[in-house]
């Protein structure tokens, strides 16, 4: 009887100990285990993967990397691996425009054709319309000529001018437009007297110490420690790192790392590059001409998660899939950078964010 009681005592004690241990587990530990459950398989064999970063209250709480940046060289992904940001680049284009507006070099309500004369047929389209995806600029990605080489932003502007065919009246509705954001490249160049790449380097990257961030518009980017994009192919992966439209920038074209994106994220809480008023404008939803909310600010999608306002953007180009999501009221950010086209960030982000914040 005493042996039985003692055994039961030990079992109960062990259970209590486990309960205490679990209750003492930090939000970081819980979230790290979730990430490992989701992505550790990417580190098995030779395959591309994902880099993940959680930022809370100004500090990096968790950085994890899974898989390879370069399958051929077997180079692992790290926090210093540079990924092609694809459409996550749009927030940088928006910031450049806000910097120029504060300096008096342009105004968001200026017609785009003031800076890009080829767009005269779109006389009612303003810079603000472009930023909010309400300009009605037609899509040209599938029809612009690439047979004689990689077209540039100027080529794209010429092509749009010849099309002279807006999809709808400026401001009428939201329609996501890479073509529109590409026109911010020549707008920024005309207003600043610098190329888009030079402006980004001197006025944003250098200012923030983002030394591993670059604007690239060459077939083979010469970037140290960069990730290469891949597509799944049967039981393997094949390279998908180039598109003939890579030289057209503004909607994309930026490479960056987890460590540099931490610096970028923290800048968005402070009046470093622009004023508080401009930051609020960037992070506030625009409206259509009939007053409907667009759920999009200047380079940021806007929604809510568990009654918390969320600013986010995804990116998808060649073999890259990316996500950055910020809950400014909680001082929280999640960044996910992947170099595999089968990665579905939106499938995971809500669970990851909720796991971390609800475990605190």
Tens of pLDDT along 118-150?
Answer: 999 999 999 999 999 999 999 999 999 999 899
Q: How many domains does the chain have?
A: 1
Residue whose entry in the numeric block shows the structure tokens 């880099």: 51
Give CA–CA dist 83/76, Å, rounded: 13
The residue ranking higher by pLDDT, 360 or 77, is 77
| Residue 115 covered by a domain | yes
Mean pLDDT of 5-34: 58
pLDDT at 220: 73
Give CA–CA dist 101/222, Å, rounded: 32
| Domain coverage including residue 186 | 27-67+79-358
Asked if residues 148 and 142 have their Cβ atoms less than 8 Å apart, the reply is no
| Residue 302 covered by a domain | yes
Mean pLDDT of 102-118: 98
pLDDT at 235: 86
Asked if residues 91 and 281 have their Cβ atoms less than 8 Å apart, the reply is no
| pLDDT value at 102 more than 70 | yes
| pLDDT value at 3 more than 70 | no
| Residue 1 covered by a domain | no
Q: What's the start-to-end Cα distance of the chain, in Å?
A: 43
Q: What is the mean pLDDT of the chain?
A: 93
Please report, for the domain that includes residue 50, its CATH number. Answer: 3.40.710.10
| Residue 74 covered by a domain | no
| Residue 279 covered by a domain | yes
Angle at CA of residue 154, ends 150 and 160, nearest 5° = 100
Asked if residues 9 and 16 have their Cβ atoms less than 8 Å apart, the reply is no
Residue whose entry in the numeric block shows the structure tokens 């401009």: 278
- CB neighbour class for 298 (10 Å; exposed up to 12, middle 13-18, buried from 19): buried
| Residue 223 covered by a domain | yes
| Residue 286 covered by a domain | yes
Q: pTM of the full predicted structure?
A: 0.92
| Contact partners, residue 5, CB within 8 Å, separation at least 6 | none
Residue whose entry in the numeric block shows the structure tokens 């209750």: 23
Local confidence band at 279 (pLDDT 50, 70, 90 cut-offs): very high
- Return the closest-CA partner of residue 324 out of 61, 94, 27, 51: 51
């Amino acid at each position: 009887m005493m042996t039985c009681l003692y055994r039961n005592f030990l079992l109960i004690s062990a259970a209590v100990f486990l309960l205490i241990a679990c209750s003492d587990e930090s939000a970081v530990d819980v979230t790290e285990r979730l990430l490992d459950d989701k992505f550790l398989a990417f580190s098995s064999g030779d395959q591309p993967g994902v880099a993940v970063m959680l930022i809370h209250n100004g500090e990096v709480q968790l950085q994890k990397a899974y898989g390879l940046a370069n399958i051929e060289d077997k180079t692992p992904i790290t926090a210093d691996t540079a990924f092609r940001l694809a459409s996550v680049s749009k927030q940088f284009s928006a910031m450049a425009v806000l910097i120029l507006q504060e300096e008096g070099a342009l105004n968001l309500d200026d017609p785009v054709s003031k800076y890009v004369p080829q767009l005269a047929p779109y006389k009612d389209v303003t810079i603000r319309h472009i930023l909010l995806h309400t300009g009605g600029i037609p899509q040209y990605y599938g029809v612009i000529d690439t047979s004689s080489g990689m077209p540039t932003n100027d080529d794209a502007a010429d092509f749009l001018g010849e099309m002279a065919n807006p999809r709808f009246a400026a401001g009428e509705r939201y329609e996501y437009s890479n073509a529109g954001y590409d026109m911010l490249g020549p707008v920024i160049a005309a207003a600043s007297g610098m190329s888009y790449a030079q402006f980004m380097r001197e006025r944003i990257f250098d200012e923030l110490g983002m030394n591993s961030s670059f604007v690239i518009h060459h077939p083979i980017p010469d970037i140290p420690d960069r990730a290469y994009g891949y597509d799944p192919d049967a039981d393997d992966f094949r390279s998908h790192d180039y598109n003939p439209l890579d030289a057209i920038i503004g909607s994309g074209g930026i490479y960056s790392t987890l460590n540099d994106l931490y610096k970028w994220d923290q800048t968005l809480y402070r009046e470093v590059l622009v004023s508080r008023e401009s930051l609020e404008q960037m992070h506030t939803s625009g409206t259509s001409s009939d007053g409907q909310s667009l759920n999009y600010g200047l380079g940021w999608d806007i929604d809510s998660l568990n009654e918390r306002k969320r600013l986010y953007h995804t990116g998808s180009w060649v073999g890259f899939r990316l996500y950055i999501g910020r809950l400014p009221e909680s001082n929280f950010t999640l960044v996910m950078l992947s170099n595999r086209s089968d990665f579905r960030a939106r499938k995971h982000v809500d669970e990851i964010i909720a796991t971390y914040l609800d475990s605190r």
